[in-house]
Amino acid sequence: MFAVDYAAEMIEVAKKRSYGEAINYQVADIYKLPFSDDYFDFIICLGVFQDVERPLEAIQEMRRTLKKDGLMIITTLNKFSLSFLFRRKKRSEIFLRKYNPYFLKKTFSKQGLYNVKLKGIYLTPFVFLTNLVLKLKLCRFFNLFFPVFICLAHSFHLEGRKK
């Protein structure tokens, strides 16, 4: 198993929190991953794209390192989320990129990923509402009708397999 980050400091934090897991940590650039073509069975990219300047290039590079039928999963912030409209931005959030879920889904497909699935991640600025959504498992219902409930999704999960 590999864990990659562009910041050496984050690699050190991750190492301290891994509790002896057999993980190969590497500092690397998402646009130039130090792995051969068709290397990974799956790639999970959580909370990275909000800092990525060139998402198409990042997807292309991750796809390059993915084996045929390998699974790529990313999560990132939803451009259409109401939760960002109702809350004051923290200074650290000002430069975060938010994405149109359908644009990234289309990008996945154009890059030769198939069986592309898009699901919302439902967090709201109102704790009681988020707790209600989680307790009643409304996420499943919301995802059945994602286009209708897109504004309720704080972020989204996108997955696809390499052809």
Contact 87, 127 (CB under 8 A): no
The residue extents of the domains of the chain are 31-162
CA distance 144 to 155: 16
Q: Can you tell me whether residue 48 is helix, strand or coil?
A: coil
Percent of the chain beyond pLDDT 90? 56
Show the beta-strand stretches assigned E in 30-154: 40-46, 66-77, 113-121
What's the pLDDT at 124?
63
CA 158/CA 105 separation, integer angstroms: 7
pLDDT of residue 91: 54
Which superfamily does CATH assign the domain made up of 31-162 to?
Vaccinia Virus protein VP39 (3.40.50.150)
The region of weakest confidence among 55-59, 78-82, 124-128 is 124-128
Strands 66-77 and 155-162: what pairing? antiparallel
Q: What sign does the dihedral 108-109-113-115 (CA atoms) show? A: positive
Q: According to the model, what pLDDT value does residue 96 have?
A: 84
pLDDT of residue 8: 93
Report pTM: 0.83
Give per-residue pLDDT as tens, 62-111: 999 999 999 999 999 998 888 776 666 665 556 788 999 999 999 999 99
SS3 call for 81: coil
